[in-house]
């Protein structure tokens, strides 16, 4: 299994996906043929989203096909060397993937050796469920189960800060609610600028910040940068 799961797409002061370029370079190997899944993009067209990613990754010399442009999407996924899933609204993404019958083809492609790259909502899709998304439920995804490529629930864009004076739940409080109704899950609070890379059966925390691991009925566990999950 070969996964690159990024918390987010942009770091302050850098271009779109710029911080991901060296990570992608390191993990690509000889693979160049990408299907891009743009369905998390809601306020931009799927074409525009695909073009934006092409531009951001131009120096990698990839061949990027938007999955919305092909007639036989499962076949295109089966033939892909890289499955890339962009961020945006997780509910809209999962609904589209489910309705178009892409869940099982993506899982199979990755099990057969394709590299899975996802950021934000795309990182969530690789988890057992999307129950740790921060997004608004703008549409019913037809169930919360996702790809289950990784045995951890990523909470992307993790921060426990609230805007000054705000009375809403903190991120940890929200995750604690999840762990009451689903104590079998383990949740990684993945800060912006961090990622999880899975290669050769091992998973490592990337980036220069610690992440938090939340388990039911236990205090949060701090995972140092570079932590090996398994």
Query: Is residue 87 a contact partner of residue 40, using CB atoms and an 8 Å limit?
Result: yes
120 noted as active-site residue = yes
Q: Tell me which residue of 156, 133, 158, 134 sits closest to 145, measured CA to CA.
A: 133
Determine, following the binding rule CB under 8 A, whether residue 157 of this chain makes contact with a second copy: yes
Q: Of residues 2, 7, 9, 135, which has the active-site annotation?
A: 135
Among 163, 184, 200, 208, binds a second copy (CB under 8 A): 163
As a whole number of Å, the end-to-end CA separation of the chain is 13
Parallel, antiparallel, or unpaired: how do β-strands 115-119 and 2-6 relate?
parallel
Binding window for a second copy (CB under 8 A); candidates: 31-39, 70-78, 86-94, 197-205: 86-94
Distance, in Å, from the CA atom of 86 to the CA atom of 53, rounded to the nearest integer, reads 8
Indicate the residue among 23 and 144 with the shorter CB distance to a second copy. Answer: 144
Instruction: Give the number of other CB atoms < 10 A from CB of residue 119.
Output: 25
Query: Is residue 197 a contact partner of residue 188, using CB atoms and an 8 Å limit?
Result: no
Determine, following the binding rule CB under 8 A, whether residue 218 of this chain makes contact with a second copy: no
**Alpha carbons within 13 A on the beta-carbon side of 175:** 27
Instruction: Write the binding mask 186 to 215 for a second copy: x where contact by CB under 8 A, - elsewhere.
Output: ------x-----------------------
Range 94-133, binding a second copy (CB under 8 A): 130-133
Among 66, 86, 88, 128, binds a second copy (CB under 8 A): 88
Among 63, 138, 148, 151, binds a second copy (CB under 8 A): 138
Q: How many residues bind a second copy (CB under 8 A)?
A: 45
Q: What Rg, from alpha-carbon coordinates, does the chain have?
A: 17
Which residue blocks in the chain are alpha helix, DSSP H? 21-28, 46-56, 73-79, 90-99, 103-111, 121-125, 171-181
Q: Of residues 2, 7, 9, 120, which has the active-site annotation?
A: 120
166 noted as active-site residue = no
202 noted as active-site residue = no
The footprint of a second copy (CB under 8 A) covers 8-12, 42-43, 88-89, 91-92, 130-140, 143-144, 157, 159, 161-169, 173-178, 180-182, 192
- Which active-site residues does the annotation give? 120, 135, 157
């Amino acid at each position: 299994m070969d996964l690159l799961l990024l918390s987010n797409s942009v770091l302050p002061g850098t271009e779109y996906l710029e911080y991901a370029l060296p990570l992608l370079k390191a993990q690509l190997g000889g693979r160049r043929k990408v299907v891009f899944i743009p369905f998390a993009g809601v306020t931009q067209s799927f074409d525009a989203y695909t073009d934006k990613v092409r531009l951001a990754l131009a120096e990698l010399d990839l061949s990027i096909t938007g999955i919305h442009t092909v007639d036989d999407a499962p076949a295109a996924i089966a033939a892909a060397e890289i499955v890339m899933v962009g961020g945006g609204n997780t509910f809209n993404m999962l609904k589209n993937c489910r309705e178009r019958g892409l869940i099982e083809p993506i899982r199979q492609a990755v099990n057969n050796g394709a590299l899975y790259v996802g950021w934000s909502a795309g990182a969530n899709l690789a988890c057992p469920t999307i129950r740790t998304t921060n997004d608004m439920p703008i549409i019913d995804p037809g169930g919360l189960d996702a790809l289950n490529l990784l045995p951890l629930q990523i909470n992307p864009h993790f921060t426990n800060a609230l805007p000054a004076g705000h009375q809403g739940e903190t991120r940890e409080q929200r995750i604690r609610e999840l762990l009451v109704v689903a104590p079998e899950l383990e949740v990684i609070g993945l800060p912006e600028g961090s990622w999880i890379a899975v290669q050769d059966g091992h998973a490592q925390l990337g980036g220069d910040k610690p992440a938090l691991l939340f388990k039911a009925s236990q205090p949060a566990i701090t995972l140092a940068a570079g932590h090996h999950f398994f």
